[in-house]
Structure 1
Amino acid sequence: MRNIALIVSYDGTDYYGFQSQPGGNTIQDKLEHAIFLLSGEQVKLTGSGRTDAGVHARWQVVNFMTSSSIPIERWALALNTRLPNDIVVQRAYGVPEEFHARRKALSKTYRYTINCNRTPDLFRRRYEFHHPTPLDFAAMQEGLKLLLGEHDFSSFTAPQSTKPSHVRTILDARLEVEAGSAAQAVSFHDEISRNWDERHYPGKQRGVIHLYITGTGFLYNMVRIIAGTLIQVGEGKRTSADMATILAARNRAKAGPTAMPHGLSLWEVVYDYQ
């Protein structure tokens, strides 16, 4: 028996999430079916983490045991010919028998993308949340910093969470403005529109921003609730310091709304070996 790991990217728009469920139509279902078509084996693969319906992945890692003799270098290409076009195996590699995609992960990074330009990007609307008014990027960045370290994130998880502990460690949290996106937003609008923004949204900016959050583990809806709360900080409805107050409250009702799923992507998973 061999233990094989796959690095998988997918557009989660049309799926009910990663993990297999009775209703089917999940990323796991499609991958397991493709493996069956290729090898004739019914496998149960393990993912590095679940993604909800509508959430995407740039770098999901899965592993499964197989007795197939198919050379490792053929797996990615062969599986891609048997998968829908919105799921792509980027790489297949052999891993030790004890490798477990979820338990062996050292860290995971999620990215949430917000487009603050006046109009949505037609070609990227599946992968970014459109917020038609400017946001205070600096305040959002300050709020993100307050999440660093080990905390009880009960305020930032859905009530449906079944985890016995809500203590998690955030290793890195940052905001990046996409190069050129703010300048492009200005060039597409006239002086009247710019003056309108300056009068009605002082201290706020337009452009496309990415929130990157890296941690050793995450709770159900945790990143989306953080994103929804930070949007309120960017709107001026909350202050940066409120993020610390919300953390200390350990009460979901104190945080902001759960941001829409399509702006979220599982960006990277890190292991000792890869």
Structure 2
Amino acid sequence: MPRFALQVEYDGAPFHGWQRQNDLPSVQGAIEHALGKVEKGVHKIAAAGRTDKGVHGIAQVAHCDMVRDWTPFRLSEAINYHLKPNPVSITACAQVPDTFHARFSAQERRYLFRILPRRAPVTHSRGFVWQVKQQLDLDAMREGASHLLGKHDFTTFRSTICQSLSPVKALDVLDIFEVETMHGTEVHFDVRARSFLHNQVRSFIGTLERVGSGSLQPIDVKTALEARDRQACGPVSPPHGLYLAGVTYETSPFDGSVVVG
């Protein structure tokens, strides 16, 4: 059975997360339903990351196994046709070896978080950016973020329902920078690691936003991390500012070269 890698873009607002759920809309469920229209039968796909309810995807990666030997272009066109009217799109498709696995072959996940510090209500970007009313001190947030880089026990920044066997993860990148948009200056967070705990990124952002607003000091991030106590975490940021922005593999499935599984 030929295997295909899919790059997926989606608006997370109408869905109860990526993962298939009984009687609740999910991104995975929408794609599997579309695949059932393309080729009759039950389809199960695997993805690089299971985003929560309301979290968006820019370049999620999933894989599926098909019976027919589709060309990637025809397969992506067929899936997109049957995905309508869901806000989900297959933006790239490539045939890959059966050793490729969207989740287990991934070497890095990249998340983007968008904050818009603005008093006037958000209109055009509503549901796609976290609006805060006060300006943020980026230097303070960067200093606080520096304490999170590297390998740590991130118990403070993991959800109480996290199913990961260990709270120890290695955070590779947490960059904070400003981006000019037509709606105002946004603060963007580029967060990268091989894998993440449940709610880890949103817990980082919620805590760092408190640093940027002056409610916490940068050293408080280090204190919270070392506490290894969920109660020491700042508020968890809302999901609608968060995007799964990309997944890195040893060789990209979508550049025309052979993928190493």
- Normalised by the length of structure 1, the TM-score is 0.88
**SS class of match (1:178):** strand
Cα pair 1:41 1:66 within 8 Å, conserved: no
Q: What amino acid is the match of 2:42? A: Q
How far the C-alpha of 1:76 sits from its partner, in A, is: 1.3
Q: Please say if 1:242 is aligned against 2:243.
A: no
Q: Which residue of 2 aligns with 1:21?
A: 21
Query: Does 1:154 find its partner at 2:155?
Result: yes
Q: 1:235 to 1:21 in 2, by over 3 A?
A: same
Per the TM alignment, residue 23 of structure 1 is displaced from its structure 2 partner at its CA by 2.6
Corresponding residue for 1:105? 106
Match of 2:258 in 1: none
- Report what 1:210 is aligned to: 188
Q: Aligned partners of 1:117 and 1:124: how far apart in 2? A: 12
Shift of 1:70: 2.4
Gaps of 5+ in 1: 186-206
Distance in 2 between the 1:38 and 1:64 partners? 12
Which residue of 1 is the match for residue 202 of structure 2? 224
Indicate whether 1:264 and 2:242 are aligned: yes
- Report the 3-state secondary structure (helix = DSSP H, G, I; strand = E; otherwise coil) of the residue aligned with 1:241: helix
Kindly state the Cα deviation for residue 180 of structure 1 after the two structures are TM-superposed: 5.8
Shift of the alpha carbon at 1:237? Answer: 1.2
Measured after TM superposition, the shift of residue 120 of structure 1 is 3.3
- Secondary structure, counterpart of 2:218 in structure 1: coil
- Give CA deviations for 1:43-77 in whole Å, capped at 9, x if unaligned: 11001010011000001000121212322221111
Determine the C-alpha separation between the residues in 2 that align with 1:124 and 1:180: 10
Instruction: Provide the rounded CA distance (Å) in 2 between the counterparts of 1:170 and 1:210.
Output: 17
- List runs of 5+ in structure 2 lacking aligned partners: 253-261
Q: Superposed, which structure 2 residues align to 1:132-171 within 5 Å?
A: 132-171=133-172
What is the match of residue 32 of structure 2? 32
| CA displacement at 1:241 relative to structure 2 | 1.5
- Once the two structures are superposed, residues 202-257 of structure 1 have per-residue CA deviations (whole angstroms, 9 ceiling, x without a partner) of xxxxx311111100100111111111101110111111121111111111100101
Q: Specify the SS of the correspondent of 2:234.
A: coil
Residue in 2 aligned with 1:191? none
Confirm or deny that 1:49 pairs with 2:27: no
Q: Deviations over 1:176-216 (max 9, x none)?
A: 101367xx75xxxxxxxxxxxxxxxxxxxxx3111111001
Asked if 1:178 is matched to 2:179, the reply is yes
Deviates more, 1:141-150 or 1:214-223: 141-150
The structure with the largest alpha-carbon Rg is: 1
- 8 A contact 1:44–1:64 mirrored in 2: yes
Cα RMSD (Å) of the superposition?
Answer: 1.3
Tell me the distance in 2 between the aligned counterparts of 1:69 and 1:95: 12
Indicate conservation of the 8 Å contact 1:117/1:133, yes or no. yes
Size of the aligned set, in residue pairs, is 251
Q: Percent identity?
A: 33
What secondary structure is seen at the aligned counterpart in 1 of 2:152?
A: strand
2:63 is paired with a residue whose SS is strand
Answer whether contact 2:30 2:86 (CA < 8 A) is retained: no
Q: Deviations over 1:69-124 (max 9, x none)?
A: 32222111111111134100001101111111111110001111111011233111
